[in-house]
Structure 1
Amino acid sequence: MMWICVAILLLCVRAGGCSEKVNMSNLIQYTAADFYEKLHSGKLMFIYFEQQVSPTISLFLVELEKSAETLQDYSVLVGKVNCNKELVHTYCTDERALHTAFLFRGGKEFLNFDLDTVFDVNSIVSEVLFAILRDEVKYVHTDADLLAMEKAARRKKDMVLGYVRSLGTQEHRSMMETAYVYGSKYQFILITGGPVLKHLGVNESSHSSSVWFLHCRVHSGFMTSERCPFTRMRKPLSTLSLHSFLQLMEAPLVSEVYNDPSSIQPPQFPYQQTPQVFLFSSPATKHLDLGTATTLAWRLRGLALLLLVHRSPAVKTPDEYNAAYRLPEKSSEVKYLTLHSLDEVLELFTHQEKEEEDEGEDEGLEDEEDDSDFGKLDDEIAASVFENRGNLLDMDSVTQLTSENFHVAVAESSLTVALFYLKWDAVSMAFLRSFIEVAERLADHEVDDVQMSVVDCGEWTDLCASQPGGTVQFQPITAFPTVLLVRRQEAAKHYRGMLSSEELYHFIMMSRTASPVLLSTQEEVTSFLQEVPDRVLGVFETHKQTGLQVFTEAAESLRGEVLTGLLTDVLAEKWASDLTVDLPAVLVFPSWRTHTLPSTLPVPSTAEELLTHINAVLLHPMPELTVENLPSFISLGKALLILFVGEEEDDIGRRQNQALVEEMRVVVERGGRRMEQYLACWIHLGHTPAGMSVLGSYLGSMPPLPALVLTHLPSGSEIYQYPTNSPVVASSVLQWLQKVEDGAETPAGMLGEDSWPPAVEFYDFLKLMDMQDSIKKHISEEEEEDEEEEEVAVEEHLVVEETKDHNPENNFNAHSEL
């Protein structure tokens, strides 16, 4: 009866037909009062705060409405708040909420999702359920992580491991919906690739989603290794196929019967689509036959049900047969066999399964031919571009620049943001989408002083080579994609941030303001200091004071990244007096600092030196590493002293993590100048799940947390791990670092070589060019040899003719012998 209820629930979820409000929208339009009422009730809510509507937002709202009914089955309220009518503080006033949806749980914000990750019904449902089921569904990266989970689950709980190519897909949704129903019974595990596939015997280049059932509750006598035996689901991954598979895994391994197979009923619900295999046993070999049947049953797991038939007067099958089988589509027909080995049974069902797969492959042959190169693509970016090759980009929001109109277009705009790209470059095409999103976002906000433009360097090579002849000069474009911010009569500025729409948008918005901004009143100064980003304020007695030119040059270099201001005359003297500093001075206000007192810097003789001092002050003493800021920290050239902390389950865990981070700050303070060679930082594996892969790749397996690692040493590629059995205490960490410096510590791992060979041979363009050069050289040498042979033949012919003329006794035969 339980299986029937579960099946009905899953069918309702997939068909969306179990709601009474079939013809009504389940997307709730909340007022501010309604929102706070539901929030305080502690219910699960997935909410979007609508501020402005663009084509992208409109499409999202359509998908959000479609997902409302499905999520309602999982007790998740789905709705939106129109911020133009109802003001919800924090969310309606935060610009980031424009492209973010929020999940609330227990009366507070639980998680937020960028709209890029929840773009359709499948991604919305899968991501929301994935967030809710974080305890029921674990995401593993390495085989060591999986082994640890297997050991913990042994004799306690079976596990269901699902491999999906990417999150947010139909397969991911099927896993999450099934986990919602069976999460209390099985431990669900999710992977998207990596070394775990190798343990499961799957090629990592496989594009088919798969599911494995790990039998961790079986008796230890069946386990021949420390790993749990597993069974692979052979049907394509869907919610219903996964439900049927889990039912089959609950079936008895071997059923013992005493009747003839012809009199045994075909399998009943829920196994009615599963073949039956009968093995015959005689009283003399009863125990041996049971062992044989058990061995075969494990090999047939997921393919067929095995029944051991004990011969008795009720069994009429002749003794010459030792096996039989019944297929589901043949109703009660039983076929009898005389087997000589168990492999014959396996061949029977695996052959049948292969025929079904071949039929499916024949049906999709055309699609397979179209995507034949898909598995040969370099990386996820290239694969994404390949998948979207049929979706033409809407270029209406950007200006396409050429050699003819580039300088004219720049002259007509106060700020031109130009993307230089190549159509055949995967990263260029992927970023082009983000670039267009930024252009549309600027248009939605009515930002009319920025011209977003693109240059196809495959077509306009002379422009990308920066040929002279215009008012704007820049270095030749040698890396793609490249973004330049161009102004009239000014040097072009490179954008060196993350290739994401959010980062580029904020860089452009900050680049619109002057750098430095001239502050002339106390109100302007107060407003400047209340800004969120890093701020740098130059304080000078007069507009002609020494060092002002140095500060101005430095401020221009920081444009787009740091907000800079300039204070002079009486107001500057007042500030200098209040802060007891000598003029001229540069005041730095890092965004991470909670108090308002700035760091004071003198004005050096060069802008480069001033930039070095400013960046040193802006650097957080113990920064949190994320995917976005990691490249900028690595570019500093310092060794990374990284503290990895896990996700907290309660306030006690949060306080413990905070104490660890504070202790590492003490390490930096006590270490003084000797710590300048290191960048002490930390990664929160809950905020940045990719950190688990990083830690696993550093050490080869996941160590217990917290873990302290020293890596990216300028002197070599060694990786050192702080002893796991030692508490993270400042004095102990400093002693450990001293041992590392003295060469008394053994490395725990090594960084991989920075080698990026071509994924496949036909991508090795340098090798192809060398081969072409070699072929050309070989052809040229052959042509030279042919010419030399012709010249020799002509010379010999002339010699013979001369001999013939001077010696009449010579005849034609002498010439023909040559």
Structure 2
Amino acid sequence: MDAKVSLIMTLLMFSALSLAEKQLQQQQQQQHQQQQQQQQHQHQCQQTNQKQQQHCQVLEHPDYEEHDQHNTDELHKEEFEHSNFQYNGADENDTPESSIMNGNTEESMYDDGNRRPERTQHINHNIPNATPNIVVTGESEFSNEILNGHYENKRFLKHDPAHSAKKEDGQAVTVAHLNSKEDFEKFIREEAVHLVYFYKKGGITSAVRTFVKEFQLSARQLIHYKIFLAMVDCDMHLVPGYCAPDKVSRFAYGFRDGAEKIAFPLDTLFNANAIVSSALHLSLINNVPILQSASERQSLEQRCKGRADIIFAFHRNLGTYEHRIFLEIAYAYQDKYVFALTTYTAGTLGLRELQQAKQEDQEEVNQLVWVIQCASHSVSQECIDSPYRGKMLLPDLLNFMTIVSKPKWSELSIPSGSDEVLTPYDSLGIPWVFLIHDGASRKRMKDLAPNLAELVRGAVAVFTVD
């Protein structure tokens, strides 16, 4: 097995090196073309009248390209910050029968771009050249555990005072039981995401009893995300609009900022993973859009160029464990990266791993993750994708995010008289590749290193060695 893994890694590196060489050649060709265009432009300027020569002097100013790029970046920044990530939800005239769980996100789920993304506007746009600093949002103990690598399926039961848990028979009760229409209205007005289930005791089936148990378990897990769950007994406390015969016991309703956003059919909330992932996606819908096509993904890439890298996922089905952990990662890293997902294979066109798996006649691919690197690329360049090659388990995906947050490549220096080599990738369990150079080949290796590092990012550590 070790020999097979080594062979696969060797083939991967040869392929990546070949691609990196091609990219380097393309960059050199582009630079050569730009030089030729500049020379042609200078020649044209010499043949113009005095007025035109003055205009050309402005264009030939050494800072012109920098100023032009700055203007382009400002326009790009405006497009990025006003992108259509926003989830409108349901207004008073909408019927809330659609669900995030089916992956068929309609355009009505997004606003007209007037609202800015709540989190992505805080992204550190200089990440590729900066020491990685992880910003934890929401002051969540759970997020701190994730980011510090100590997550061991712990449950943090630190309750918000406004949603303090009661105790019955010594057991913590984290699903609020609302006893009036006024309680319900007060509950959903508080600044948080809320899921509320309306039921009648006479309509409780075995499926509903199972759901209630999973609902209770999910409430305990969602507290640290400031997402709160409640139930209303419509036999005792009638809430108009929600206790109607065609709605009661059939839906769990999601609310944000006091407004109903979505109705989750009960059959989509089949276990705790489905409930937690649905609630998390409602909380993060502004920051984790569901894309339906490659063109939508490419539009997102265009907006992110020069700004941020994208963590992009394919999930054939939502409401799964894999969907849940992807959203948990997004919650923890939402100030550092842009997150998005698709449920359609069409949304992955142009990305490397999924098509490769299909060509090799492997089992049906259900989940995949990529880091799409746009932060260090200009508007005229292509973003480079690198697939996640590990298992879809939370510890493994966390390790991948830790690796991705490290520098893309490093210059390895070995102190004289020392055999010990310390790198940012120690203890992360990934192979190393050394690009060894002398004085003559130094520049070429330094040019090759970032291209190679992007192709294998998250899977291989790249070093240059003098």
> In structure 2, do the counterparts of structure 1 residues 264 and 3 end up closer, same or farther at CA, with 3 Å as the change threshold?
farther
In structure 1, the partner of 2:453 is 297
Please state how far the C-alpha of 1:147 moved relative to its aligned partner.
Answer: 1.5
Among 136, 153, 156, the alignment partner of 1:18 is 156
CA distance in 1, matches of 2:274, 2:235: 27
CA distance in 2, matches of 1:71, 1:12: 18
* Aligned counterparts, 1:102-181, within 5 A: 102-181=253-332
Is 1:76 aligned to residue 214 of structure 2?
Answer: no
In structure 2, the partner of 1:241 is 396
Contact 2:193–2:283 (CA under 8 A) maintained in structure 1 = no
In structure 1, the partner of 2:462 is 306
CA distance in 2, matches of 1:14, 1:87: 42
CA distance in 1, matches of 2:248, 2:336: 37
CA distance in 2, matches of 1:245, 1:93: 47
Write the letter of the residue equivalent to 1:103.
G
CA distance in 2, matches of 1:36, 1:92: 14
Among 442, 449, 454, the alignment partner of 1:286 is 442
Write the letter of the residue equivalent to 1:8.
E
Among 362, 370, 375, the alignment partner of 1:217 is 375
CA distance in 2, matches of 1:3, 1:306: 26
SS state at 2:292 partner = coil
Please state how far the C-alpha of 1:273 moved relative to its aligned partner.
Answer: 2.4
* Aligned counterparts, 1:620-659, within 5 A: none
Is 1:44 aligned to residue 217 of structure 2?
Answer: no
> In structure 2, do the counterparts of structure 1 residues 138 and 3 end up closer, same or farther at CA, with 3 Å as the change threshold?
closer
* Aligned counterparts, 1:669-748, within 5 A: none
In structure 2, the partner of 1:722 is none
Contact 2:135–2:335 (CA under 8 A) maintained in structure 1 = no
Please state how far the C-alpha of 1:12 moved relative to its aligned partner.
Answer: 8.0
Write the letter of the residue equivalent to 2:219.
A
Please state how far the C-alpha of 1:304 moved relative to its aligned partner.
Answer: 2.1
Unaligned runs of 5+ in 2: 1-132, 159-164
In structure 2, the partner of 1:229 is 384
Query: How many residues get paired?
Result: 306
CA distance in 1, matches of 2:186, 2:312: 39
Deviation string 1:512-553 (CA, Å, 9 cap, x unpaired) is xxxxxxxxxxxxxxxxxxxxxxxxxxxxxxxxxxxxxxxxxx
CA distance in 2, matches of 1:302, 1:12: 20
Specify the structure having the higher radius of gyration (Cα). 1
Deviation string 1:629-676 (CA, Å, 9 cap, x unpaired) is xxxxxxxxxxxxxxxxxxxxxxxxxxxxxxxxxxxxxxxxxxxxxxxx
Write the letter of the residue equivalent to 1:151.
Q
CA distance in 1, matches of 2:153, 2:286: 27
In structure 1, the partner of 2:94 is none
CA distance in 1, matches of 2:146, 2:421: 31
Please state how far the C-alpha of 1:23 moved relative to its aligned partner.
Answer: 5.2
Identity %: 25
CA distance in 1, matches of 2:327, 2:392: 12
> In structure 2, do the counterparts of structure 1 residues 258 and 143 end up closer, same or farther at CA, with 3 Å as the change threshold?
same
Among 25, 40, 53, the alignment partner of 2:204 is 53
CA distance in 2, matches of 1:91, 1:85: 13
In structure 1, the partner of 2:145 is 8
CA distance in 1, matches of 2:219, 2:189: 21
Among 308, 323, 333, the alignment partner of 1:182 is 333
* Aligned counterparts, 1:118-517, within 5 A: 118-201=269-352, 202-203=354-355, 206-220=364-378, 226-259=381-414, 262-265=419-422, 267=424, 272-310=428-466
SS state at 1:80 partner = strand
In structure 2, the partner of 1:28 is 176
> In structure 2, do the counterparts of structure 1 residues 213 and 69 end up closer, same or farther at CA, with 3 Å as the change threshold?
same
> In structure 2, do the counterparts of structure 1 residues 15 and 37 end up closer, same or farther at CA, with 3 Å as the change threshold?
same
Write the letter of the residue equivalent to 2:315.
V
Please state how far the C-alpha of 1:213 moved relative to its aligned partner.
Answer: 0.5
SS state at 2:172 partner = coil
Write the letter of the residue equivalent to 1:140.
L
> In structure 2, do the counterparts of structure 1 residues 71 and 297 end up closer, same or farther at CA, with 3 Å as the change threshold?
same
SS state at 1:70 partner = helix
> In structure 2, do the counterparts of structure 1 residues 106 and 7 end up closer, same or farther at CA, with 3 Å as the change threshold?
closer
Unaligned runs of 5+ in 1: 311-818
> In structure 2, do the counterparts of structure 1 residues 291 and 73 end up closer, same or farther at CA, with 3 Å as the change threshold?
same
Deviation string 1:217-265 (CA, Å, 9 cap, x unpaired) is 1144xx9x75310110001223332222222122212211331683212
In structure 1, the partner of 2:118 is none
CA distance in 2, matches of 1:124, 1:188: 20
Contact 2:403–2:428 (CA under 8 A) maintained in structure 1 = no
> In structure 2, do the counterparts of structure 1 residues 236 and 208 end up closer, same or farther at CA, with 3 Å as the change threshold?
farther
Please state how far the C-alpha of 1:209 moved relative to its aligned partner.
Answer: 1.0
CA distance in 1, matches of 2:342, 2:282: 15
Contact 1:164–1:172 (CA under 8 A) maintained in structure 2 = yes
Please state how far the C-alpha of 1:140 moved relative to its aligned partner.
Answer: 1.5
> In structure 2, do the counterparts of structure 1 residues 7 and 234 end up closer, same or farther at CA, with 3 Å as the change threshold?
farther
Contact 2:408–2:453 (CA under 8 A) maintained in structure 1 = yes
Contact 2:146–2:398 (CA under 8 A) maintained in structure 1 = no
Please state how far the C-alpha of 1:308 moved relative to its aligned partner.
Answer: 1.7
> In structure 2, do the counterparts of structure 1 residues 191 and 49 end up closer, same or farther at CA, with 3 Å as the change threshold?
same
Write the letter of the residue equivalent to 2:454.
W
In structure 1, the partner of 2:236 is 85
Contact 2:135–2:336 (CA under 8 A) maintained in structure 1 = no
Write the letter of the residue equivalent to 1:234.
R
Please state how far the C-alpha of 1:148 moved relative to its aligned partner.
Answer: 1.4
In structure 2, the partner of 1:398 is none
Contact 1:136–1:184 (CA under 8 A) maintained in structure 2 = no
> In structure 2, do the counterparts of structure 1 residues 295 and 36 end up closer, same or farther at CA, with 3 Å as the change threshold?
closer
Contact 2:134–2:336 (CA under 8 A) maintained in structure 1 = no
SS state at 1:173 partner = helix
CA distance in 2, matches of 1:209, 1:174: 12
Contact 1:136–1:183 (CA under 8 A) maintained in structure 2 = yes
Deviation string 1:167-224 (CA, Å, 9 cap, x unpaired) is 111111112111222223222111122323342242467324110000011144xx9x
Please state how far the C-alpha of 1:137 moved relative to its aligned partner.
Answer: 1.0
